[in-house]
Amino acid sequence: MQDQAWYAGSCDRHVAESVLQAVNKDSAFMVRQSSGQGWNQPFTLVVLYKGHVYNIPIRYLESSRQYTLGKDGKSHEEWFDSVAGIIQHYSEHPLVLIEGSSASRAHTCLLFPVKP
Protein backbone atom coordinates (compact mmCIF):
# COMPACT_ATOMS: atom_id res chain seq x y z
CA MET A 1 0.00 0.00 0.00
CA GLN A 2 3.00 2.29 0.47
CA ASP A 3 2.83 3.50 -3.14
CA GLN A 4 -0.88 4.39 -3.07
CA ALA A 5 -1.70 8.09 -3.42
CA TRP A 6 -4.06 7.80 -0.46
CA TYR A 7 -1.86 5.90 2.01
CA ALA A 8 -0.50 8.03 4.86
CA GLY A 9 1.29 5.30 6.83
CA SER A 10 1.80 6.03 10.51
CA CYS A 11 0.50 9.62 10.25
CA ASP A 12 -1.42 10.36 13.47
CA ARG A 13 -5.04 11.49 13.67
CA HIS A 14 -4.29 15.18 14.31
CA VAL A 15 -1.86 15.47 11.37
CA ALA A 16 -4.30 13.64 9.07
CA GLU A 17 -7.15 15.95 10.04
CA SER A 18 -4.99 19.09 9.64
CA VAL A 19 -3.78 18.00 6.19
CA LEU A 20 -7.31 17.30 4.97
CA GLN A 21 -8.60 20.61 6.33
CA ALA A 22 -5.74 22.43 4.60
CA VAL A 23 -6.66 20.75 1.28
CA ASN A 24 -10.24 21.86 1.94
CA LYS A 25 -11.92 19.74 -0.76
CA ASP A 26 -15.08 17.79 -0.10
CA SER A 27 -14.42 14.06 -0.53
CA ALA A 28 -10.66 14.35 0.09
CA PHE A 29 -9.43 11.27 1.92
CA MET A 30 -6.50 9.21 3.15
CA VAL A 31 -5.88 5.91 4.92
CA ARG A 32 -3.60 5.90 7.95
CA GLN A 33 -2.44 3.23 10.35
CA SER A 34 -4.67 3.11 13.41
CA SER A 35 -2.92 4.04 16.62
CA GLY A 36 -3.02 1.37 19.30
CA GLN A 37 -6.08 -0.48 18.00
CA GLY A 38 -4.42 -3.85 17.37
CA TRP A 39 -4.48 -6.35 14.52
CA ASN A 40 -8.28 -6.32 14.12
CA GLN A 41 -8.42 -2.58 13.35
CA PRO A 42 -5.19 -1.92 11.49
CA PHE A 43 -6.23 1.20 9.55
CA THR A 44 -8.48 4.25 9.62
CA LEU A 45 -10.13 5.87 6.60
CA VAL A 46 -10.12 9.66 7.09
CA VAL A 47 -12.57 11.67 4.95
CA LEU A 48 -13.26 15.42 4.73
CA TYR A 49 -16.82 16.41 3.84
CA LYS A 50 -18.59 19.74 4.39
CA GLY A 51 -15.82 20.93 6.72
CA HIS A 52 -16.05 17.87 8.98
CA VAL A 53 -13.39 15.17 9.25
CA TYR A 54 -14.66 11.62 9.63
CA ASN A 55 -12.37 8.89 11.04
CA ILE A 56 -13.77 5.52 9.99
CA PRO A 57 -12.21 2.33 11.37
CA ILE A 58 -11.08 -0.28 8.85
CA ARG A 59 -11.42 -3.66 10.53
CA TYR A 60 -9.71 -6.90 9.60
CA LEU A 61 -11.86 -10.03 9.81
CA GLU A 62 -9.49 -12.88 10.53
CA SER A 63 -12.04 -15.63 9.84
CA SER A 64 -12.50 -14.55 6.21
CA ARG A 65 -9.21 -12.61 5.80
CA GLN A 66 -11.17 -9.61 4.58
CA TYR A 67 -11.63 -5.96 5.52
CA THR A 68 -14.74 -3.95 6.35
CA LEU A 69 -15.53 -0.39 7.42
CA GLY A 70 -16.94 0.84 10.71
CA LYS A 71 -17.32 -0.44 14.22
CA ASP A 72 -18.10 -4.04 15.08
CA GLY A 73 -21.72 -5.09 15.50
CA LYS A 74 -23.36 -3.50 12.45
CA SER A 75 -26.28 -5.46 10.99
CA HIS A 76 -25.00 -5.10 7.41
CA GLU A 77 -21.35 -5.09 6.38
CA GLU A 78 -19.63 -5.14 3.02
CA TRP A 79 -16.45 -7.20 2.97
CA PHE A 80 -13.43 -6.53 0.76
CA ASP A 81 -10.32 -8.55 -0.04
CA SER A 82 -8.05 -5.53 0.43
CA VAL A 83 -7.98 -1.93 1.65
CA ALA A 84 -7.44 -0.91 -2.00
CA GLY A 85 -10.69 -2.73 -2.79
CA ILE A 86 -12.51 -0.56 -0.25
CA ILE A 87 -11.09 2.61 -1.79
CA GLN A 88 -11.93 1.47 -5.33
CA HIS A 89 -15.51 0.61 -4.36
CA TYR A 90 -16.19 3.89 -2.56
CA SER A 91 -14.62 5.95 -5.31
CA GLU A 92 -17.52 4.71 -7.47
CA HIS A 93 -20.30 4.24 -4.88
CA PRO A 94 -21.33 6.69 -2.12
CA LEU A 95 -20.02 6.06 1.38
CA VAL A 96 -22.37 6.81 4.29
CA LEU A 97 -20.73 9.23 6.73
CA ILE A 98 -22.24 9.35 10.22
CA GLU A 99 -21.35 12.29 12.45
CA GLY A 100 -20.69 10.88 15.92
CA SER A 101 -22.27 13.47 18.22
CA SER A 102 -25.47 14.15 16.25
CA ALA A 103 -25.76 10.87 14.26
CA SER A 104 -26.54 12.97 11.17
CA ARG A 105 -25.77 11.25 7.87
CA ALA A 106 -24.11 12.40 4.67
CA HIS A 107 -23.06 10.52 1.52
CA THR A 108 -19.97 11.03 -0.63
CA CYS A 109 -17.61 9.15 -2.89
CA LEU A 110 -13.86 9.09 -2.24
CA LEU A 111 -12.61 11.50 -4.89
CA PHE A 112 -9.37 13.25 -3.88
CA PRO A 113 -6.57 11.10 -2.43
CA VAL A 114 -4.24 13.02 -0.13
CA LYS A 115 -0.87 12.26 1.50
CA PRO A 116 0.60 14.28 4.36
DSSP 3-state assignment of 92?
Answer: helix
Number of domains in the chain: 1
Q: Which helix (H) or strand (E) holds 95?
A: strand 95-98
Position 18 in a domain: yes
For position 29, which CATH number holds? Answer: 3.30.505.10
SS3 content of the chain, % helix, strand, coil (to 5): 20, 35, 45
pLDDT at residue 2, as a whole number = 87
Q: Rounded to an integer, what distance in angstroms lies between the CA atom of residue 45 and that of residue 33?
A: 9
pTM above 0.75, yes or no: yes
Task: Examine residue 55 and state whether it is found in any structural domain, yes or no.
Answer: yes
Q: Which range marks the domain in which residue 30 is found? A: 13-113
Q: What is the mean pLDDT, run by run of 10 residues, along the chain of 116 residues?
A: 93 96 97 85 96 94 92 78 97 91 87 96
How many degrees, rounded to 5, is the angle at CA 3 between CA 77 and CA 115? Answer: 80
